[in-house]
Amino acid sequence: MAVGESPKRRGDHWPETRPSERHAQWHWATPQAELILAAGDLAGILRFYRRVHGLNQTEFGALLGYDKTYISALELGKRHLDDVGSLRRISECLRLPPHILGVTDVADTDHRAMLQFGESTVRLAEIARQSGHAAEAVSELWPLVARLEARVEDGHTEVEVLHLLARARVGLGVALGNVLPEERLSTAARWTGKSLEVAEHFRDPVMMSYALRMHGNELRKAGLRGAAVDRLCRAVAVAPDTQARGAGLALLARAAGALGNSELFDRVMREADELLAVVEHTSLFNPFSLHEIRLRGLVGTGRAREAIRLVADTPAATTTVAPQWRVIELVTVGSVQLLAGDRTGAAESLDGAVHEAVVQRLPHQLQRIMRTAVGRLPVAHEAAAHALHRMRSEMAA
């Protein structure tokens, strides 16, 4: 299987029909609808809505409060609506922002403000998460996602709303993946997974690769390693550029190592190394992060001796490395040091990891420390357990 090729399984393919053809509630999100809405032609909008929903003119008239004859005249362009009240009512019936029909009111202003605010919220939440403040990202994204989902539930499925919802769901899931303990990481995976329906609908390679990448990583953290490899192979396959491919390769290597698939792990790491020499470093795809991924993958695929030889060669962290990566690396190095019999070095690494995991509120990393230290470094195990208990108590309060 080539890197980036999804494992073959029954039903694993792009949908043969557009979701918009199967789900009328997404009718305004199709390319055809975008053209019709951009023209702002009421007649075309009415004809499109009626056709998508399979309504005859009598049924459509009952929905809008007009008789069949008047609907026919509107659709043919023989009659026109100019009064604001009627246009506002039609926009509400058709689940459209009023400005599409030339009406500007408070609700429409609120809608535009929500979209602008939402875009800023998603960007700032990602910055907060990358800076080690995932809990703040969750607090910002929860109300945004709830508001967007309520709008979609009401039938308002404009393209910009769905795009924003997909990104907000991914951001929320990834942030939750940082702050939740291991037994609740499936919640993070569910949120990233909910973004895939929207991404597949649009078939946008940028959105699709990103959603698959983040969902695959959360599946790995939740222990669903085979599914994680599947999603990450697809993410690499549809990556629109080398940056996205590099990010996908890094996460795919980690998942392949966790799965114990040495052949796939080695192949992905070779390509990642080659790509690293020609692309700009990012917070995920850089020598520091790939070193940690390589160490953990070698241990996961039964090559602890190779990992021991490499542990001392950790490259200096660059300014692009997210703070949580330093914690992840310390735990991994500590586990390899224990395999090498270096209890003193392992204790120092894990003590540093406990301190940083507390500062950044990373319960999953505290649980990794506990697993690594159990039975061998009781002081580190107790410190991590105490910190985790305190963190859970604060979260429950």
Name the domain boundary from 45, 69, 103. Answer: 103
Q: What is the pTM of this model?
A: 0.76
Same domain for 149 and 193?
Answer: yes
Q: Cβ neighbours of residue 6 under 8 Å, at least 6 residues apart?
A: 12, 230, 233, 234, 237
**CA 253/CA 262 separation, integer angstroms:** 10
Q: Are 119 and 218 found together in one domain?
A: yes
Is 230 found in the same domain as 109?
yes
Q: Is residue 11 part of a domain?
A: no
Q: How many structural domains are present in the chain?
A: 4
Asked whether residue 361 is assigned to any structural domain, the reply reads yes
Pair 227, 344 in one domain: no
Which residue among 46, 70, 103 closes a domain? 103
Please report, for the domain that includes residue 227, its CATH number. Answer: 1.25.40.10
Q: What are the C-alpha distances in Å from 289 to residues 76, 264, 269, 294, 321? A: 61, 18, 12, 9, 8
The answer to the question of residue 19 being in a domain is: no
pLDDT at residue 18, as a whole number: 33
Choose the final residue of a domain: 240, 265, 284.
240
Is the same domain home to 109 and 222?
yes
- Residue 5 belongs to a domain: no
Q: State residue 281's pLDDT score.
A: 80
For residue 303, count other CB atoms closer than 10 A to its CB. Answer: 16
Report d(CA 247, CA 213) in Å as an integer: 8
Q: From CA 90, how far away is CA 116, in angstroms rounded?
A: 25
Q: Are 76 and 190 in a shared domain? A: no
Tell me what pLDDT residue 168 has: 95
Verify that 362 and 331 share a domain, yes or no.
yes
| Residue 15 lies inside a defined structural domain of this protein | no
Could you tell me the residue range of the domain that residue 51 belongs to?
24-103
**Residue recorded with tokens 């990891």:** 353
152 and 249 share a domain?
no
Specify whether 116 is located in the same domain as 197. Answer: yes
What does DSSP assign to residue 97?
Answer: -
Do residues 23 and 54 touch, judged by C-beta distance below 8 A? no
- Helical pair 31-39 and 42-53, crossing angle rounded to 10 deg: 150
Q: Is the dihedral of CA 55, 56, 59, 62 positive or negative?
A: positive
Q: What is the pLDDT of residue 318?
A: 61
**Domain of 51: which CATH number?**
1.10.260.40
Residues 112 and 231 in one domain: yes
- Convert the pLDDT of each residue in 235-289 to its tens digit: 999 999 999 999 999 999 999 999 999 999 999 999 999 998 888 887 778 888 8
Residue 202 contacts residue 214 (beta carbons within 8 Å): no
Give yes or no: residues 109 and 234 share one domain: yes
Q: CB 371: neighbour CB atoms within 10 A?
A: 12
Which residue ranges of the chain lie beneath pLDDT 70? Answer: 1-26, 29, 104-109, 316-320, 396-397
**230/128 same-domain check:** yes
* 36 found inside a domain: yes
Taking a C-beta distance cutoff of 8 angstroms, is the pair 343, 376 a contact? yes
